[in-house]
Amino acid sequence: MSPAKPMNLAVFLARAGLGSRRACDELIREGVVTVNDEVVEFPRQKVTVDDVVAVRGEPVSPRGLRYLLVNKPKGVASTRRDPHADKVIVDLVPRGRELFPVGRLDVDTTGLIVLTNDGVLANRLMHPRYGVPKTYVARVRGKVSRRALATLRQGVDLEDGMTAPADVRLRKQSAKTALVEITLHEGRKRQVRRMFRSVGLPVEDLSRRRYGPLTDKGLEPGGHRELTADEVDALRRAGEQVADEVSGEDEGQPLPLAAESPSDANSGPDEATGGSSGPEG
């Protein structure tokens, strides 16, 4: 058997789900981390999975955390199970049934969705009020006026309240349709379509092109790839910002991982955040 691969202590802790590498560096410097019962305050100390690492006396170990980025094509449901859809997103990737989609897109929307079994991170990223920024490109019917752009930017009054300020840019106006880019910092059910409709611009096509630090560069609809360690770290940092914003509020329970609840394929991030069952953001 080959010997276990050494890694930095901070990386070990990050892979055990304790936060970004930077947050884990701080944890180590606080002096609350032990390796084989000795306090270690040096984040780059090498450890392997054979070492006993504990945080405040609780042993921790890297789980098999997986993070995939999928470019959802049209016609695929972004849930784990949908009796009405031909296909669900978890079936687009190998061993996808072990993973949860982070948030939702409606069946006709294309674009980026993260699949993961890291429930704590997923919960944070999906916080309805402080979710990570998401950028969409919408093809809308009609002529986009300056006034409509200003209204979308400032906030529109939807049935579930005013929308938060958004970044909005007209990319192209053609005879009958226009391409508009919009970045939201919150995530509500069918929010983009409802916002455009409220200013008289029905959405004909919608695609999510950015999710926090991730872009769809090189990823065709239907494609997927694993996130790099740096991308996972960037997502964790975004999640920590959300956790700071909600400190004092109930952050919700960590998600049940698929492996822990095989009979309950429908429980997952959307329910866990108390969010609506429809597409967000």
Please give the positions annotated as active site.
106
Contact by Cβ (8 Å): 227, 67: yes
Pairing of strands 67-72, 46-47: unpaired
Q: Give 98 or 106: the residue with its C-beta nearer to ligand URA.
A: 106
What whole-number distance in Å separates Cα of residue 60 and Cα of residue 53? 6
b/e 61-98 (16+ beta carbons within 10 angstroms → b): eeeebbbbbbbbeeebbbbbeeeeeeebbbebbeebeb
Q: How far is the CB of 134 from ligand URA (least distance, A)?
A: 8
Q: Judge contact between 114 and 102, C-beta under 8 A.
A: yes
At closest approach, how far in Å is the CB of 33 from ligand URA?
40
Task: Give least dist CB 188 to ligand URA, A.
Answer: 8
Distance from C-alpha of 59 to C-alpha of 38, rounded to nearest angstrom: 13
Give the residues lining the site for ligand URA (CB under 6 A).
105-106, 109, 190-193, 206, 279, 281
Q: How far is the CB of 211 from ligand URA (least distance, A)?
A: 11
